[in-house]
Structure 1
Amino acid sequence: MPNNKAERTVINLNKLGFNRFLQFGHYKYTEAKPKLENHIHEDSIELCFFLKGQQFYRIKNELFQLKGNDIIIISPNTQHSTGTYPEDKGELFWLQVSLNEQEGLLCNLPSHQTNSLLNQLTKNSDIIFKGAHSLKTSLEELMNELQNPTSSLTALKINHLLIHVLLETLNLAQTPTQETSSERLEIINQYIMDNLHRIIYVDELASLIHVSTGYFKPWFRKNTGITPKEYINRIKIEKAKILLSQKKSVTQVAFDLGYNSSQYFATSFKKFTGITPKSFLLSHKLFPKRNS
């Protein structure tokens, strides 16, 4: 069984006797990894539970941005990848389920219940919706049971958890989203964009939506999956890519975005993109102007 301390764990559930279930996986990256190439899952859906960080996925020809506590179900036979983006710093669970009836019943459910559940999940595919802490707990418990079987009842527990994960995911997909949080985040995002040239403090952001800093930090993480500091840094790095593409020097970009030094900027850039600013310039055949 995989080590639960591994950076990336993949378990083939069908090989363990769990019909209709394919891969169950988890990763927890502390830095960006190479991009996920374009691929499909034949006659199966893939449930992606993004716990922390942010990630771009290109599904068909549409670009999706997932943040912490987001879920997306990828429809069967659909090309998807991370596009031009890396597999980003963050934490993700994924679960693949076959729609092929010849592969047996889902956790011993009657065929009509199996088909109904999978059809409903498929109908809610290719849209982003919010997760819940209880679902995160179930996913962690499922991984623990698979890695550390404790008794003859382990298979029964795993079947129960698998069905619970599918049912809770469906329930969340059908739950109306709240607009209040997204409206607050729009205000915060615009403020950050207007102040990229300097250091932005957390208490400034809290005051924008009229809450205390103590309340703001956990609220922000719950709604974005990352800390305010990381969120600001991610926006700055995306802006840095644009400025570098305009052939500005690394030193000038660092200054324009309020970094204390070009070395700190380069470290931050690599942390979120997987490459240095210099490598970014070379890979895009960009060379700074001599007078910049």
Structure 2
Amino acid sequence: MKIDVKTTKTRVITDFKGIGVHELIVLGKYNYNRVENNLEDHVHNDMIEICYYDKGSQWFAVNHNRYLVRGGDIFIHFPGEVHGSGGFPEAKGCLYWFIIKANKSKRHQGDHENIGYLVNELVNLKRRHFRGGFVLKKMLEDVFNAIKAKGETQQIKKIRIALLTQLFLLKIMEYANKKSNDTDNERLQKVYHLIDSRLTEYITIADLAKEANLSQSRFKNWFKELSGFTPVDYVQRKRVDYAIQKLKESPSTSIKDLAYELNFSSQQYFSTVVKKFTGKSPGELRS
């Protein structure tokens, strides 16, 4: 599978050929308002692919192991690994990916060799999936903007892009080495458990905030920062997961009854939400 370099209405991809920073291959992002096709299994030999998921959630599969990546997460595909979406569609959300050479023997000399050094340090850390921060979005947008910048020489552009990439890689390493906050993780797990236990009940932001011992306004920001979702979006996704499981286990289940069981205001709204997250109507999920 060749590296995709085609820009569309929902995908922006930059091919670094001609820029002069030899380690850099591709920087891309997509912003989907609906689910798209599956990402087929493929391999990047002698390259690392650093993914930053800005919002939403996405299943990745690497060497037949599945990982659920959420907004604010960093996910790394190391050189030579078979990876794709594991049969799942590319979900509604926003994802950035940066593909960089990781072959020591072909590293170019000069200032840009720092990129190769940082990539190899990152490979040696062997951390695949960890929390990042929303500053990464700005850093990647800065690279996009540097590529498009007018009025400067090619050499200045090359230096700027190389420096911005190094800053990005240093920030990735900082997050990779960061220890998690156990207290926040424990509180988040309690909130997850409360949601799972009340999917068929009416649940409010006040209920969730109380479980985390936070004010409602603080809770919304805290939950988004840790989970990558707004509380409402997360609850909807979990209810859709519940609906999928129930329809597969009991295909004769009434869609109207299931919609009301999960506290949707109407069957039509339920169907709209299901299709937004899965690309299929509830009826198509029965088998």
Q: What's the TM-score, normalizing by structure 2?
A: 0.90
For residue 27 of structure 1, the aligned residue among 26, 30, 51 is 30
- Paired residue type of 1:251: K
SS in 1 for 2:237: helix
Distance 1:258 1:226 in 2: 20
Does 1:129 pair with 2:130?
Answer: yes
Does 1:178 pair with 2:190?
Answer: no
Does 1:254 pair with 2:259?
Answer: yes
- Paired residue type of 1:135: L
- The CA deviation at 1:148 is 3.5
Partner residue, 1:143: 144
Does 1:224 pair with 2:227?
Answer: yes
- Paired residue type of 2:228: G
Distance 1:23 1:109 in 2: 16
Partner residue, 1:278: 283
SS in 1 for 2:17: helix
Partner residue, 1:190: 193
SS in 1 for 2:208: helix
Distance 1:5 1:223 in 2: 31
CA shift in 2, pair 1:49/1:17, >3 Å:
same
Distance 2:104 2:24 in 1: 12
Does 1:95 pair with 2:105?
Answer: no
Distance 1:5 1:184 in 2: 40
For residues 27-176 of structure 1, what are the structure 2 equivalents within 5 Å?
27-101=30-104, 103-105=106-108, 108-110=111-113, 113=114, 116-125=117-126, 127-152=128-153, 153-176=156-179
- The CA deviation at 1:7 is 1.8
Give the conservation status (yes or no) of the 8 Å contact 1:71–1:128.
Answer: yes
Distance 2:115 2:19 in 1: 19
For residues 192-211 of structure 1, what are the structure 2 equivalents within 5 Å?
192-211=195-214
Distance 1:185 1:176 in 2: 16
RMSD: 2.2
Moved over 6 A (4+): 2-5
Give the conservation status (yes or no) of the 8 Å contact 2:14–2:27.
Answer: yes
SS in 2 for 1:14: coil
- The CA deviation at 1:155 is 2.4
- Paired residue type of 2:84: S
Partner residue, 1:17: 20
Distance 1:261 1:103 in 2: 60
- The CA deviation at 1:89 is 1.2
Moved more, 177-186 or 262-271: 177-186
Distance 1:77 1:101 in 2: 14
Q: What's the TM-score, normalizing by structure 1?
A: 0.88
- Paired residue type of 1:17: G
Give the conservation status (yes or no) of the 8 Å contact 2:127–2:176.
Answer: no
| Structure 1 runs not aligned, ≥5 long | 285-292
- The CA deviation at 1:121 is 1.0
